[in-house]
Amino acid sequence: MTDIKVTPLGAGQDVGRSCILVTVGGKNIMLDCGMHMGFNDERRFPDFTYITREGTLTEHLDCVIITHFHLDHCGALPYMSEMVGFDGPIYMTHPTKAICPILLEDYRKITVERRGETNFFTSEMIKSCMKKVIAVNLHQTVHVDLDLEIKAYYAGHVLGAAMFYVKSGQQSLVYTVLIPVFALGRAQELCILLETYWDRMNLKVPIYFSLGLTEKASNSYFISFSVLHNANHYYKLFITWTSQKIKKTFVQRNMFEFKHIKPFDRAFIDNPGAMVVFATPGMLHAGLSLQIFRKWASNENNMLIMPGYCVAGTVGHKVLSGVKRLEFEKQVKIQQEFGIDCFKPANGETTVIRTIHNVPLDISVNLLKREASLSGLSVPDPKRLRILNGALVIKANKSQLVDPAQAMRELGLKQHQLRFTSTISLDDDGPISDSADKLYQKIKNKLKDYPIHYSSDGSITIADTVLVKVSGDEETKDIAVSWLHQDEELGSYLLKILESGLEGT
């Protein structure tokens, strides 16, 4: 099986509930399992019926991989594992495993206890789900089974976010964190930047962080200020997972204790003087951020910074779309700039990615030396493609390409040769030796990349296997061309150039 199949179960052509089913090397891997906070019906979670309509998911999935703790990438985990049913391994990094249940429980309280929604996972389900999680370190090779292995690499984005290398048999892929999202993680990064700059410049301008971060909004999610502080505790705990600059600075002071950043009150909107406000939702489509934008937008001294993605139709998207030039569609732009295929399947639509199946092969030194000598090059050109004629030997799951003579010796077999000979009439007056000289010069000019030997008897040998000789008398001459079956292409080419006679030598 050489194809890689990709089926989005969520976030195929939209934002939210990221969940992708990938089939690689005969293994089924689920990449992320997020929820969509903009819906309270079946659209909230990925559509697992694309995998199976009956029974649990355990027998259909080899493993689940979570890249980071944002709810649109991990929010459906308890629903998938406890309500739909999955008992297989779930992999994520240590920081993701620590922060993920905090966000899940916080959102559960908002959804169930405050809004009174039913058909939602419970606190016990979150705990049971997290017991199935296997935490991994960066660069740690994890063998899911005999054929499937995964390895996490640093991805930035948020604490513990990782891109995952997945290998099954001879096929592999890399799944990475690409699309920026909101609130937790980005908030820490921006707060650290401002906190550090305020300290360095000794600024007194107040910085406020919105307390109203528990509102529901389409295509984004928000967290309470208390959860932000809880998350900061884990940022301190997993300081070794942050960037080198933060780790170095952390020795001098705690990067996640913000002395300049205070909770925001709506009454501050009309306060005179400068201030910096972190406000949600990030798309400016409702809530505090839209209220502040309406109040401050008319003043040219105010600045609006949009650090994240905005869905089409929102105020944020309209603000960001105020450009004066057109751009290619992202899919076409990727294809043109990078020369690679770009796919955007809808939820439930399977995209088949054609791959070339490479088989690892050892090549014997004797074979390489033989091919180098036949090419006539003392130093082979690594940029030039060449065809190797050898024998494929497979022993104990190891494949090797060896010189055919070596393979025959090892098997105790006698090598047989099949040789073809063709004769061409030559119209050339004069001694045979003169005709042989002309023939040698023509072959030498036409086959510059081949070793050619001119013997004293007038015979010409090409690559030690093809023989060319002029016979007859001064009036009637023939050219005999003889080659082995593996040199059919070279022999046919020789016949073609010699049929035109010795002109053009």
Contacts of 427 (CB under 8 A, 6+ apart): 477, 501
Cα–Cα distances in angstroms (integers) from residue 290 to residues 131, 263, 270, 403, in the given order: 40, 18, 15, 74
pLDDT for residue 132: 96
pLDDT for residue 191: 76
Cα–Cα distances in angstroms (integers) from residue 323 to residues 99, 184, 306, 320, 327, in the given order: 38, 29, 15, 7, 10
Q: Strand, coil or helix: what is 144? A: coil
CATH 3.40.50.10890 in the chain, residues?
186-320
Residue pair 17/45 in contact (Cβ under 8 Å)? The answer is: yes
Give 309: exposed, middle or buried? Use CB within 10 Å, 0-12, 13-18, 19+.
middle
Cα–Cα distances in angstroms (integers) from residue 197 to residues 200, 204, 205, 263, 304, in the given order: 5, 11, 12, 19, 19
CATH class for the region spanning 4-179+327-353: alpha beta
Give 190: exposed, middle or buried? Use CB within 10 Å, 0-12, 13-18, 19+.
middle
pLDDT for residue 217: 26
pLDDT for residue 496: 85
Cα distance between residue 63 and residue 91, in whole Å: 8
The DSSP line for 276-338 is EEE-S-TTSSSHHHHHHHHHHTT-TT------S---TTSHHHHHHT--SS----HHHHHHHHH
Record the tokens describing residue 307, joined without a space: 């650090």
Q: What are the helix (H) ranges across 301-431?
A: 315-320, 330-338, 365-375, 404-411
Cα distance between residue 132 and residue 66, in whole Å: 13
Q: φ, ψ for residue 141 (rounded to 5)? A: -80, 120
CATH class for the region spanning 186-320: alpha beta
pLDDT for residue 166: 96
pLDDT for residue 227: 45
The DSSP line for 85-117 is I--S-EEEEHHHHHHHHHHHHHHHIIIIIIT--
Cα distance between residue 20 and residue 178, in whole Å: 14
Residue pair 78/129 in contact (Cβ under 8 Å)? The answer is: yes
Record the tokens describing residue 256, joined without a space: 């996640």
What sign has the CA pseudo-torsion 297, 298, 302, 305?
positive
Question: Tokens 């799951």 map to which residue?
Answer: 397
The DSSP line for 227-287 is HHHHHHHHHHHTGGGS-HHHHHHHTTS-TT--SSEEEE-GGGGG-SS--EEE-S-TTSSSH
CATH number, domain 419-498, options 3.50.50.60, 3.30.530.50, 1.10.1380.10, 3.30.1050.10: 3.30.530.50
Q: pLDDT tens, position by position, for the chain (505 residues)?
A: 578 999 999 877 777 789 999 999 999 999 999 998 778 888 889 999 999 998 899 999 999 999 999 898 999 999 999 999 999 999 999 999 998 998 899 888 888 877 788 788 999 999 999 999 999 999 999 999 999 999 999 887 677 899 999 999 889 999 986 533 344 456 666 777 788 889 889 999 998 877 443 332 222 333 344 444 455 555 555 555 555 555 454 444 444 467 788 888 888 888 988 999 988 777 776 668 878 888 888 788 899 888 777 777 667 777 888 643 334 456 666 776 777 788 878 777 788 888 877 778 888 888 877 777 666 555 666 667 777 778 888 887 788 888 888 888 888 888 777 888 888 888 877 788 888 888 888 888 888 878 888 888 888 888 888 888 888 877 788 888 898 887 888 888 888 888 877 665 5
Cα distance between residue 221 and residue 159, in whole Å: 17
Q: Strand, coil or helix: what is 83? A: helix
Q: φ, ψ for residue 52 (rounded to 5)? A: -160, 145
**Mean pLDDT taken over the chain:** 79
> Which helix H or strand E contains 163, and what residues bound it?
strand 162-168
CATH 3.30.530.50 in the chain, residues?
419-498
Cα distance between residue 169 and residue 186, in whole Å: 37
Cα–Cα distances in angstroms (integers) from residue 95 to residues 31, 178, 237, 251, in the given order: 18, 19, 9, 20
Cα distance between residue 47 and residue 66, in whole Å: 17
CATH 3.60.15.10 in the chain, residues?
4-179+327-353
Report field, pTM of the whole predicted structure over 0.85: no
Cα distance between residue 18 and residue 11, in whole Å: 5
Cα distance between residue 467 and residue 440, in whole Å: 12
